[in-house]
A and B are shown apart, each in its own frame.
Chain A
Amino acid sequence: MSEENDLALYAHLMRRAGFGASRSELKNFASQGYEAVVNDLVNPENLPDVDEDLINRFHRVSFEGKWLYRMVNTRRPLVEKMALFWHHLLATGSSKSNHHCTAFDQILMFRDLAMGNVRDVLTAVSKDPAMIFWLDNQENLEEEPNENYGRELMELFSMGAENYTEDDVKAATRAFTGWSVVSIIPGSTPYGKYPTTFNYVSSHHDDGAKTYLGEDGRFNGEDIIDIIVRQPATARFIARQLYTFFVADEPAVATWNEIPPRDADAIDTIAATYIKTEGDMKTILQVLFNSDFFKEARFTRVKSPTELVTGVLKLTGSARTLRPGIGQYAQAASVMGQNLTRHLTVEGWPTGQGWINGGTLNERVNFAVDEVTDVNQEGIQELIGDLSSLGASLTPENFVNGCLDLAGQVEVGDETREGLLRYAESGNALSFDTTSDREESEARVSKMLQLIVSAREYQFN
C-alpha cells in the first residue's frame, strides 16, 4: 500500500507529532504527501493558529483547560507537543512558592521557543521565574551559594547524571549566583499574585574565575549554557529524550547510564543532527519524523495521561468548543499522574511503563469508558454517521473494523479482537434503517467504543 494512501502511517505521525486526527483529517494529509505534512508541522506558521481572542475571553477557564483545548483543536500541534516536551523535561513545580501564574508564563515561553534552539530554551528557562523559585536560585548568592539549580540543570535538564563532577556543580552554581526575580507584588483573589520577571542582581553574583567541564573563565550563567550545549553528552541526552518522547519508550532516565538505548543508530542520527545544527529543533524534528526508525515505530509508546485524555476528546468531539468545565479534563490527567503545569517533584513525570500501575490504570480506563458512553456527543454522532454510510447493515467484522478505524486507526491483537467480535456477534447485524434500529445500534456502538478504549492496546500510542 503506497505511503500516500496509508492512513495508518499518517495516524501514527499525528499521534506522535500532535494529539491525533480524525479520519477526514487523515485523508486530507494523505493527499498532501508525508514530507509535505512534516514540513508543515515544523513550520507552524504555514497554518492558522487557534483564535487567541476567543481563548482570552474565557477568563474563568483554567490555563490547563485552555491548553488542552489548544491541543485538541490546533492546526499547529507540534508547537503544543514541543511545549509539552520541554515542560516534561524541564520539570518545574509551584508547590513551594505557590506563585502559580509564573508556571503559565513558562509554558508560553516553551510554546514560543518550540521550533527554536536548545541554547535559547536553556537560557530562557534559567531566567524563568517559575524555575528560579522552584530550584531556589533566588537564594543562590555569592556569599551563600545554593546548589539546587546548578546541579539539576546538568543532571536532569541537559547532560544526565555522572557526566560532570561535583566541582562542576559548584562552578555552575557560582556562575548562576544573582540570577533572581523581581520582588513579587502580593495580590489577593481573584487574581492572586502578580506575575514577575527575571532580575539579575549583580551584587549577588560571583564573577570570580571558575573551571567548568575543563574550561576556565569568569563564567556567568550564559557561558555555562554555551559550554553545556557543546557537550557530546548533551547531544546524546537530548537525543535520547526526544527519542523517548516521539519514537519509542526507553527505560527510566535514572537507568540510562547502565542501560544502552534500544536503537543506538537512531540516537546517533538525532545526536548528529543536533551537533550539526547546534541544537536546532526544527531541523532535528524534521529529520526525526522523516526517518524510517520513526515511521516503523508503531504503538511503541505508552500514552501519557495527556495523550490519553486528548485522544479520547478527539474521539468524542466534546472539546471542540471552549467552555467552562473543560478544566475537568486537566483534572483527569492529574489523577492519572500528570498534573499539567504542576510537577510534584524535580525528577518530573515517568515515561512508558512508569505511567501504568493499578491505580493509574484504574483511572485511565474508567475515564475513557465514562467519556464514550454518551452517544449524543458530536464526535460519536459523526462516527455513527460514518459507520452507517459503510452499508445498510454491518456484519460483526465490519462493525468491529469500522469502529477501530474511526476510533483513531486503533490496532489490536487477537484476544482483544475476539472480545470485540464476541460482543458484535451477540446482537443483530448493526443497522440504522429505522428509528428503533438506530437507537439500538447507537447503544451498541457506545458499548463497542467502551470495549475498545478499555482494551490493552488503547494504552499505547
Chain B
Amino acid sequence: MNGTAGPPTLLVIQLTGGNDFLNTVIPQANSLYYDYRPSLSVDQDRVLPLNNEIALHPGADAFKKLYDQGKLAIILGVGYPNPSRSHFLSMLKWHTCEPSKPTKEGWLGRVIREFDPNHENVLTGVNFGAGLPQAVVSRGVPVTSLANLDNYGLMHGISDQEKALQQFKQMYGPTMGAGPVMEYLTETGLGLVAGAEELKLKVPDSYESDVDYGSSEIANVLRDVARIHLAKVGTRVFYVNQSGYDTHAGQMSAHGLLLRDLSHAVTNFYQDLEKQNEADNILTLVFSEFGRRVKDNGSGTDHGAAGVAFLIGNSVLGGLYGEYPSLKRGALLNGEDLDHTYDFRGLYATVLEQEMGLDANNIVGGTFEQIPVIRRQ
C-alpha cells in the first residue's frame, strides 16, 4: 500500500458467459492444442508470445503491453473442485464461494460490510449494470448500482426536486415487520437518494481527460469508474461486467474483439488515473465463471471448467502464476475439460489479505493457498 494514495480499492471485472481460457492464454508450443482445435486454434504467427510455451491471443495486445511493463499477472487454471457447466451455478460459486446456499452472501458484500460496518457511506460499493450481482449482495448492506453516471438522480425531471426528495425520504421511513423485500426496497430507496446526492456534489459534470477511451461499452463503464474513483467519495469496491463470452459459435471473430475492447479499456483506465496520480491504490481483478471445452465444436466452444484470471495494477508483480493444466486426454475432466490447478478462493484470499488488508477466512469460507503476486510496500 502506498502511503500517499487513498485506501486500497478493488475493481472487479466479470467476463460474463465463460471466457475461453485456451484461446486467451494459448499453449502455442503444445501440439495437442492444434489437434483439439482444428477450427479454432490461433495461428502461431499471430499470437503474442509471453515465453517459449505460452502466448496471448492477438486481440489482447494491450494486455501484452501491460505484461511487458510488469503490471499484469496471469493466473492459470483457476477454478474449483466438481465444477458446474451451468452459467448460473458456476457464477454463483464465484460470487459466494459456495454453491447456492440460501444464507450465503456475496464475498464482496462481506468486504463492503468490513469497510463500512455502520453503513455510513452508500458509495462504499458501486456496481455498474442493470442487475445487481450476487457478489456484492449482503443483507443490510446498501450498494450503489448505476447504469449511467449522468442519469443517476431521483426526481430530476420535476420542478420542485428538493421538496420531492424530502417527501420521498420521509415516506421511505423505517418499517417494522413488513418483510425482507420491503426492507430491501427501503434501503435501496434511501441509499439511492444519499448516493446520488453525494455523487452530484463530488463528481464533476463533464468529464475532462485527454485519454481517449474509445466507445466500447466496457470502455464507457470504466470511464465512469475513473470519474468516481477520482472524486474520492470513499468507494472501495467497484464491480463491472463485460458480456458476450458465451462463444458457442462464431468464436474466431467475436472473442478477439471482446479481448481487444477489454484490454484497451483497462489500459486507458490506468493511463487516465496515472495522469492524476491516482492509479496506485486501485487493483483490478478480471475473472469469468468458467473456461470452455478443450475441443472446439466447429465454430465455437461449449462450456468447460478451468479458466484464467488476471490481476492488473501498480502493486502487482506481473508474470505467470500457477500451472497450465495438462492437455493430455487422461488428465482432462471427463476426458473433455481442463482441470483446475488453482482454487479461485486462494486468489480472492490473496487480494483480500495482501492488498485490501482484510482477514480472508470468513469472507471466502476457509483457508486457501495464496500467491505472491502483490508487491510488498
Task: Give the interface of A toward B (CB within 8 A).
Answer: 95-96, 135-136, 139, 141, 143-148, 151, 155, 161-162, 166, 249, 251-255, 257-259, 302, 335-337, 344-347, 350, 352-354, 356-363, 365-366, 369-370, 373, 413, 415-416, 418-420, 422-423, 450-451, 454-456, 459
9 further interface pairs, Cβ-Cβ under 8 Å (given A354-B131, A373-B157): A145-B297, A251-B102, A259-B102, A345-B246, A358-B188, A362-B192, A415-B174, A454-B155, A459-B185
Residues of B within 8 A of A356 (CB): 184-185, 188
Residues of chain B from 167 to 223 with CB closer than 8 A to chain A in the complex: 167-168, 170-175, 178, 181-182, 184-186, 188-189, 191-192, 195-196
Query: Whole-angstrom distance between the alpha carbons of A454 and B166 in the complex?
Result: 12
8 Å CB contact of B146 from A144, A358, A422? A358
Query: Whole-angstrom distance between the alpha carbons of A399 and B129 in the complex?
Result: 39
Instruction: Provide 29 A-B residue pairs closer than 8 Å at the C-beta atoms, listed in order of the A residue.
Output: A95-B244, A96-B249, A136-B248, A139-B300, A144-B297, A145-B297, A148-B302, A151-B303, A255-B102, A258-B100, A258-B101, A302-B181, A336-B130, A345-B16, A345-B243, A356-B184, A357-B131, A358-B145, A358-B152, A359-B130, A360-B145, A360-B147, A361-B188, A362-B151, A365-B168, A366-B157, A415-B172, A419-B171, A451-B171
Is B370 in the interface zone, CB < 8 Å from A? no
Query: Whole-angstrom distance between the alpha carbons of A160 and B144 in the complex?
Result: 31
Known: A146-B249, A357-B132, A359-B130. A419 touches B170 (CB 8 A): yes
Is B363 in the interface zone, CB < 8 Å from A? no
Is B89 in the interface zone, CB < 8 Å from A? yes
8 Å CB contact of B158 from A350, A354, A363, A373? A373
Closest residue to B91 on the A side, CB-wise?
A254
What is the minimal beta-carbon distance from A75 to any residue of chain B, in angstroms?
Answer: 32
Known: A146-B249, A353-B184. A254 touches B196 (CB 8 A): no
8 Å CB contact of A135 from B164, B248, B297? B248
Q: Do residues B334 and A166 form an inter-chain contact, with CB atoms below 8 A?
A: yes
Q: Do residues A337 and B146 form an inter-chain contact, with CB atoms below 8 A?
A: no
Closest residue to A335 on the B side, CB-wise?
B147
Residues of A within 8 A of B188 (CB): 356-358, 361
Is B87 in the interface zone, CB < 8 Å from A? yes
Residues of B within 8 A of A366 (CB): 154-157
Q: Do residues A146 and B300 form an inter-chain contact, with CB atoms below 8 A?
A: yes
Q: Do residues A365 and B154 form an inter-chain contact, with CB atoms below 8 A?
A: yes
Q: Do residues A253 and B88 form an inter-chain contact, with CB atoms below 8 A?
A: yes
Known: A144-B297, A257-B100, A415-B173. A369 touches B158 (CB 8 A): yes
8 Å CB contact of A254 from B89, B148, B156, B192? B89
Closest residue to A141 on the B side, CB-wise?
B298
Residues of B within 8 A of A363 (CB): 147, 151
Is B17 in the interface zone, CB < 8 Å from A? yes
Is B7 in the interface zone, CB < 8 Å from A? no
Residues of B within 8 A of A255 (CB): 92, 100, 102
Closest residue to B182 on the A side, CB-wise?
A456
8 Å CB contact of A359 from B145, B174, B178, B185? B145
Is B143 in the interface zone, CB < 8 Å from A? yes
- The 9 nearest A-B residue pairs measured at CB: A144-B298, A357-B145, A254-B88, A419-B171, A136-B249, A337-B130, A357-B132, A148-B248, A415-B173
Query: Whole-angstrom distance between the alpha carbons of A141 and B16 in the complex?
Result: 26
Closest residue to A371 on the B side, CB-wise?
B157
Closest residue to A161 on the B side, CB-wise?
B86
Is B268 in the interface zone, CB < 8 Å from A? no
Is B235 in the interface zone, CB < 8 Å from A? no
Residues of A within 8 A of B49 (CB): none
Query: Whole-angstrom distance between the alpha carbons of A352 and B192 in the complex?
Result: 19
What is the minimal beta-carbon distance from A95 to any residue of chain B, in angstroms?
Answer: 8
Is B281 in the interface zone, CB < 8 Å from A? no
Residues of A within 8 A of B244 (CB): 95
8 Å CB contact of A344 from B85, B192, B243? B243
Is B346 in the interface zone, CB < 8 Å from A? no
Residues of chain B from 125 to 140 with CB closer than 8 A to chain A in the complex: 127, 129-132, 134
8 Å CB contact of A450 from B99, B131, B164, B186? B164
Is B242 in the interface zone, CB < 8 Å from A? no
Closest residue to B249 on the A side, CB-wise?
A136
Closest residue to A156 on the B side, CB-wise?
B88
Residues of A within 8 A of B127 (CB): 357
Query: Whole-angstrom distance between the alpha carbons of A362 and B181 in the complex?
Result: 17
8 Å CB contact of A350 from B131, B152, B154, B181? B131
B residues contacting the other copy or chain, number (CB 8 A): 68
Query: Whole-angstrom distance between the alpha carbons of A27 and B280 in the complex?
Result: 66
Query: Whole-angstrom distance between the alpha carbons of A145 and B84 in the complex?
Result: 20
8 Å CB contact of B89 from A161, A336, A369? A161
What is the minimal beta-carbon distance from B1 to any residue of chain A, in angstroms?
Answer: 29
Is B271 in the interface zone, CB < 8 Å from A? no
Q: Do residues A155 and B86 form an inter-chain contact, with CB atoms below 8 A?
A: yes
What is the minimal beta-carbon distance from B309 to any residue of chain A, in angstroms?
Answer: 21
Closest residue to B296 on the A side, CB-wise?
A144
Query: Whole-angstrom distance between the alpha carbons of A281 and B152 in the complex?
Result: 42
Known: A302-B181, A362-B153. A147 touches B186 (CB 8 A): no
Is B81 in the interface zone, CB < 8 Å from A? no
Closest residue to A169 on the B side, CB-wise?
B85
Closest residue to A414 on the B side, CB-wise?
B175
Residues of A within 8 A of B297 (CB): 139, 144-147
What is the minimal beta-carbon distance from A451 to any residue of chain B, in angstroms?
Answer: 6
Query: Whole-angstrom distance between the alpha carbons of A139 and B299 in the complex?
Result: 8
The interface bits of chain B over 279-301 (1 if a CB of A lies within 8 angstroms of the residue's CB, else 0) are 00000000000000000011110
What is the minimal beta-carbon distance from A445 to any residue of chain B, in angstroms?
Answer: 15
Q: Do residues B131 and A456 form an inter-chain contact, with CB atoms below 8 A?
A: no
Query: Whole-angstrom distance between the alpha carbons of A275 and B188 in the complex?
Result: 41
Query: Whole-angstrom distance between the alpha carbons of A459 and B178 in the complex?
Result: 14
Closest residue to A420 on the B side, CB-wise?
B171
Residues of B within 8 A of A454 (CB): 155, 164, 168, 171
Is B250 in the interface zone, CB < 8 Å from A? yes
User: Which of B84, B100, B173, B186 gathers the greatest number of chain A CB atoms within 10 Å?
Assistant: B100
Query: Whole-angstrom distance between the alpha carbons of A454 and B160 in the complex?
Result: 14
What is the minimal beta-carbon distance from B238 to any residue of chain A, in angstroms?
Answer: 14
Known: A141-B298, A144-B297. A413 touches B167 (CB 8 A): no
Residues of B within 8 A of A423 (CB): 167
Residues of B within 8 A of A455 (CB): 171
Residues of A within 8 A of B89 (CB): 161-162, 254
Residues of A within 8 A of B303 (CB): 147, 151
Residues of A within 8 A of B101 (CB): 258
Q: Do residues B185 and A456 form an inter-chain contact, with CB atoms below 8 A?
A: yes
Q: Do residues A147 and B302 form an inter-chain contact, with CB atoms below 8 A?
A: yes
Query: Whole-angstrom distance between the alpha carbons of A350 and B145 in the complex?
Result: 15
Residues of chain B from 86 to 124 with CB closer than 8 A to chain A in the complex: 86-89, 91-92, 99-102
Residues of A within 8 A of B151 (CB): 362-363
Query: Whole-angstrom distance between the alpha carbons of A360 and B100 in the complex?
Result: 25
Closest residue to A349 on the B side, CB-wise?
B131
What is the minimal beta-carbon distance from A143 to any residue of chain B, in angstroms?
Answer: 8
Query: Whole-angstrom distance between the alpha carbons of A197 and B334 in the complex?
Result: 37
Residues of B within 8 A of A249 (CB): 181
8 Å CB contact of B17 from A139, A345, A459? A345
Query: Whole-angstrom distance between the alpha carbons of A135 and B144 in the complex?
Result: 33
Q: Do residues A96 and B250 form an inter-chain contact, with CB atoms below 8 A?
A: yes
Query: Whole-angstrom distance between the alpha carbons of A365 and B170 in the complex?
Result: 15
What is the minimal beta-carbon distance from B275 to any residue of chain A, in angstroms?
Answer: 28
Q: Do residues B86 and A362 form an inter-chain contact, with CB atoms below 8 A?
A: no
Residues of chain B from 283 to 332 with CB closer than 8 A to chain A in the complex: 297-300, 302-303
